[in-house]
A and B are shown apart, each in its own frame.
Chain A
């Protein structure tokens, strides 16, 4: 028997870290921020290892395949987890200092689930990995149970419950669709093609609906603004990016199960519909928001619409640019939520109006906020510009002209509300002149995101090539 354990070495390393965190918490009871920093260091080690350890291979019976595609996603997840944890360290120490280890362990287990998703080639493994990703998130969403804003202390409970109920409902969709597909093909292997039939279409649509929930695509988006508002903001920075990348990976694997391009007619229109609906609802509902977290929630729905439009192109390059977009989104949105968190901690709330004068009180945070907003809006020389442009380019090339036109128009609408946040932070004179202080870890996380957004914005080629290689590997392995 060939050795195959190296294929899962990165995932096992994360499991080991998670187990170590719980053991350390039980035996040593570390105080202060050291545990958080240790987790970050360990994950950084895993990330570095991903560049040196050979993880390409297949597990017995082909249930798990690891290649450049899987590696790309694993790095994205690791980066998101590192930055998300880095941004949480200070908040945890202040607000929940006795519950730190649980937080890290839950994030790590969710991370393991995500890392297993893109390589899963067996329906059972895929669903288990997806639930492993999702269940810790329910707990984390309610983590700020004692920490709600004074006037509405129940927000955390609402956040967690909404996420859980929608999540549970979507799981039932997935299971039902799976039952149909597996029943038709007679095998739990994803690679086994399904012959097109009305029943297969129903099954596939059910599964897309189930996974669409994690993506937060319309019409499965209702949890997004409420959860973003009620859950702890540093956690939302992670929640708003990593599970979406996970959902995207899972969606690709599922669509591949039907032969990807060959069955384009089967799922293409469904994805286009999801995409256009997400862009429209996200962008338009973001307009009247007054809470920055809710605004970013709707903006996130819109951004997912842009990803899906590239996926709907059903080409290798389209897939590659969806990956590029999601990688760009990780840096941008994570950084943006962390800035909002840093600002809200000092300015007494998450309302957009409460952030007025941010750039005067902290030019550094104000500048970072502006850069992230511009990146989401798709303005040049930040990474989001390339992401949005490449996505439109590929979708246009694949003939999705009307959705692209709608997307471009809505992108201008998006600019309006992104700029209105910038107006509050840059133009309005705040009530206070006091400098804003934020912890080292939080500043480091924001700084890394900022550097990535700007540097990849100036020279996107490495990331484009990485996404291309990943997509190529995926298409070859199908």
Chain B
């Protein structure tokens, strides 16, 4: 038994605890401690990925400590093929996220502390093998966001319009505090639904345990399943941006500071999709199969609706945020196909989208810090003063539209193949259409901002990336290309896990028929 997993989960939290004793004016020390915490976690996840035995598959590196034995709650950590991919993703994002927030303007100590606590929660979710502990970490990952957006976020003007304009004014729509509260409450309503489903599963006759492996073996009554699955789907799904519970995402991501947007769109939304698949579909497979047509159809709406919304935005951050809604639809579509290709694609899309959107938000942050605007209409020709930013932004755009050779292509291709193989082949059509609309809006945005004539006036001397700002584009950009050309490194392990889970899902479904 080795302790890599507990090290990965604990490293950011320990770094956060170390921050407590530092003084607020020790700015460099605060950043270095945070960076060490993030680096240890990243190295840990790379080691786990390297030592994970792909031939063996299944759950490895098991650690178990009793937490509340009388309720069957154990702090049980283990990693499977999906976990490997998502650990690496989280490690990369937090490492680059810390570097990208080197220039946090105020209250640095609290900022890094919350960021690290949040990331500990994310790591915890991906490796916990106890439903209760899973939920614990899930909440930890969601809540610091309230303060992170509310304190360090940016407000922006939203013109009140439409039939609800008085309500908009009343709640200060567009304000960072509005965005923070909206995000927190919507996600917490989601967790409340998850909690109800957890109670249902736990209280089923003969269960009374939260151990995921034991829950997988348990057979739940048809009624329990049919109620539990929609609760889990919409509960976790609200974090994955499932339509119509996605509305927190554009507001939240647009208001959040750079590193927080990176983490939230890059990693946190994946927690939701991971929860739907790992908890919802695997624990109550019967109901999952019954509900799959609805899940897939809603996912298709997500893809198209998100893409069209993104196409009509004029604020750069809103474009990226809506593109996340659209891309998370691809993940959910892959999940709904219930085929090996679809599931592999879904997990790979979580990874690819995480890296890509992290890169997007890091670059948007850079542009915003220099140009002090996010309205794309005011920009143009930024490639001349900042060529590196332009190059990497273009790379992210290409991955977003699924260009072969980038990680985005592998993922979307697998999902669409899965969709074609599923019982609902027509899902492929809106899926591909969504990818086309994506191409339209990302290329348009890219062209407007970066290409074109040399900018005049205040934008003529924008600085390119400097020092720590290099980290995010370099690391994330190379990851996009690397995993586009060499998907096997992750796909082998992902495939193992998908196969195991799917086998269980299909056998249970057949037995119950």
A-side interface residues toward B, CB under 8 Å?
A: 359-360, 363, 374, 379-381, 385-386, 389-390, 392-393, 396-397, 404-405, 408-409, 411-412, 415-416, 419, 422-423, 426-427, 459-461, 464-465, 468
Note all chain A residues with C-beta closer than 8 A to B192: 408-409, 411-412
* In the bound complex, CA of A465 to CA of B71 (Å): 11
- Nearest-neighbor residue (CB-CB) of A399 within chain B: B203
Asked whether, in the complex, the Cβ of B185 is within 8 Å of the Cβ of A426, the reply is: no
Interface residue stretch chosen among B144-152, B161-169, B455-463, B476-484: B144-152
- Nearest-neighbor residue (CB-CB) of A386 within chain B: B68
Q: Taking chain B's interface residues, is the majority helix, strand, or loop, or is none over half, making it mixed?
A: helix
The one of A379, A386, A459, A461 that contacts B139, using a Cβ cutoff of 8 Å: A379
- Nearest-neighbor residue (CB-CB) of A413 within chain B: B185
* In the bound complex, CA of A385 to CA of B151 (Å): 25
Decide: A380 near B140, CB < 8 A? Known: A408-B195, A408-B196, A416-B185. yes
Asked whether, in the complex, the Cβ of A412 is within 8 Å of the Cβ of B185, the reply is: yes
Most central of B24, B69, B110, B195 by chain A CB within 10 Å: B195
Per CB-CB distance, the 8 closest pairs between chain A and chain B, nearest first, are: A380-B136, A396-B199, A380-B139, A427-B150, A408-B192, A397-B203, A412-B188, A427-B151
Decide: A415 near B139, CB < 8 A? Known: A393-B203, A423-B150, A461-B68. no
* In the bound complex, CA of A386 to CA of B73 (Å): 11
Asked whether, in the complex, the Cβ of A426 is within 8 Å of the Cβ of B151, the reply is: yes
Note all chain B residues with C-beta closer than 8 A to A380: 135-137, 139-140
The one of A360, A404, A461 that contacts B66, using a Cβ cutoff of 8 Å: A461
- Nearest-neighbor residue (CB-CB) of B202 within chain A: A393
Q: A379-B143, A412-B185, A464-B70 are in contact. List 6 more A-B contacts (CB 8 A).
A: A390-B71, A392-B195, A397-B203, A412-B188, A419-B146, A461-B67
Q: Does B43 contact A (CB under 8 A)?
A: no
* In the bound complex, CA of A461 to CA of B137 (Å): 18
* In the bound complex, CA of A460 to CA of B69 (Å): 10
Decide: A460 near B184, CB < 8 A? Known: A423-B177, A426-B150. no
Q: How large is the interface on B (under 10, 10 to 19, 20 to 34, 35 or more residues)?
A: 20 to 34
Nearest CB on A from B416, distance (A): 37
- Nearest-neighbor residue (CB-CB) of A407 within chain B: B192
Asked whether, in the complex, the Cβ of A405 is within 8 Å of the Cβ of B185, the reply is: no
Note all chain A residues with C-beta closer than 8 A to B71: 390, 393, 464
Asked whether, in the complex, the Cβ of A396 is within 8 Å of the Cβ of B177, the reply is: no
Note all chain B residues with C-beta closer than 8 A to A461: 66-70
* In the bound complex, CA of A468 to CA of B69 (Å): 12
Q: Does B454 contact A (CB under 8 A)?
A: no
* In the bound complex, CA of A381 to CA of B181 (Å): 21
Nearest CB on B from A314, distance (A): 16
Note all chain A residues with C-beta closer than 8 A to B188: 412, 415
Nearest CB on A from B187, distance (A): 10
Decide: A460 near B199, CB < 8 A? Known: A409-B192, A412-B192. no
Note all chain A residues with C-beta closer than 8 A to B143: 374, 379
Note all chain B residues with C-beta closer than 8 A to A465: 70
Note all chain B residues with C-beta closer than 8 A to A423: 150, 177, 181
Nearest CB on A from B120, distance (A): 10
Asked whether, in the complex, the Cβ of A427 is within 8 Å of the Cβ of B147, the reply is: yes
Asked whether, in the complex, the Cβ of A460 is within 8 Å of the Cβ of B202, the reply is: no
- Nearest-neighbor residue (CB-CB) of B189 within chain A: A412
6 A-B residue pairings within 8 Å (CB atoms): A360-B107, A390-B71, A408-B196, A412-B192, A419-B184, A461-B68
The one of B136, B181, B199 that contacts A404, using a Cβ cutoff of 8 Å: B199
Nearest CB on B from A323, distance (A): 14
Note all chain B residues with C-beta closer than 8 A to A408: 192, 195-196
- Nearest-neighbor residue (CB-CB) of A416 within chain B: B185
- Nearest-neighbor residue (CB-CB) of A464 within chain B: B68
B:180-232 near A, CB below 8 Å: 181, 184-185, 188-189, 192, 195-196, 199-200, 202-203
Note all chain B residues with C-beta closer than 8 A to A427: 147, 150-151, 177
Note all chain B residues with C-beta closer than 8 A to A415: 184-185, 188
Note all chain B residues with C-beta closer than 8 A to A468: 70
* In the bound complex, CA of A390 to CA of B107 (Å): 36
* In the bound complex, CA of A411 to CA of B195 (Å): 12
Note all chain A residues with C-beta closer than 8 A to B184: 415, 419
Asked whether, in the complex, the Cβ of B140 is within 8 Å of the Cβ of A381, the reply is: yes
Note all chain A residues with C-beta closer than 8 A to B151: 426-427
Note all chain A residues with C-beta closer than 8 A to B203: 393, 396-397
* In the bound complex, CA of A402 to CA of B186 (Å): 21
* In the bound complex, CA of A404 to CA of B146 (Å): 26
